[in-house]
Copies of this chain bind each other. A is one copy, B any other.
């Protein structure tokens, strides 16, 4: 698919509008017509640029992420994890977690959205974590065959979901920092 180049500013505006609409009406009620109207663009442009609603939504969510985790390199696994947490912003995390809760149902009913989120949001995040962990192994901080290595993402997902489910609170930086020191690093033997 040949894409007309959008300026990064224009692309950011479009993604911002998609996220606003997601928060206002939810995934199911979000239409390409509404995105076109809100952003003063044509539906044809949206489809040409993004192909489909699930891909547009997944790319908007990805664009919303503060920065690329893989670019962190502090020299220690503990430093890398804490740098990842401190890139976040408590208000942003609270807004994002409301957005994510709304998307859970949409994912259940829309396999295309689940697939797009997995490819565009989950996979790069896992790659980023993989980079951290690979460097930690190379430095000798973690054994290459450590059984907890394959479960780092599971531990992190648990922090986010259980904080909401059990404690009825959103994740914030202080909580994540404590969880990393109490759970992630000890499980990895660091």
> What residues make up the interface of A, taking CB atoms closer than 8 Å to B?
101-102, 104-105, 108, 118, 122, 126, 147-148, 150-151, 153-159, 161-163, 165-166, 168, 178-179, 181-183, 186-189
Contact: B183 with A155, CB < 8 Å? Answer: yes
Q: Determine how many copies of this chain the complex contains.
A: 2
User: Judging by beta carbons under 8 Å apart, are B108 and A182 in contact?
Assistant: no
A111 to chain B, nearest CB (A): 10
Question: Is there contact, CB below 8 Å, between A154 and B126?
Answer: no
Taking each of A154, A181, A188, which has the highest tally of chain B beta carbons within 10 Å of its own beta carbon?
A154
Of the residues B153, B165, B182, contact of A166 by C-beta under 8 Å: B153
CA distance A126 to B108 in the complex (A): 27
Distance from A131 Cβ to chain B, minimum over Cβ atoms (Å): 17
Question: Apart from A105-B105, A157-B162, what are 8 other A-B pairs with CB-CB below 8 Å?
Answer: A122-B166, A147-B181, A154-B183, A155-B158, A157-B166, A158-B162, A182-B187, A186-B189
Most B CB atoms within 10 A — which of A122, A161, A189?
A161
Contact A158–B154 (Cβ < 8 Å)? yes
Chain B proximity of A1: nearest CB distance (Å): 26
Q: Which of B157, B187, B189 meets A165, CB within 8 Å?
A: B157
Residues of B within 8 A of A108 (CB): 101-102, 104-105
Choose among A108, A158, A187, A188 the residue with the greatest number of B CB atoms under 10 Å from its CB.
A158
Query: What residues of B have a CB within 8 angstroms of the CB of A188 in the complex?
Result: 186
21 A–B pairs (Cβ distance < 8 Å), ordered by A:
A101-B108, A102-B108, A104-B104, A104-B105, A105-B105, A126-B166, A147-B178, A147-B181, A148-B182, A151-B159, A151-B179, A153-B162, A154-B158, A154-B159, A154-B163, A154-B183, A155-B158, A157-B161, A157-B162, A158-B158, A186-B187
| Shortest Cβ distance from residue A175 to the other chain B in the assembled complex, whole angstroms | 10
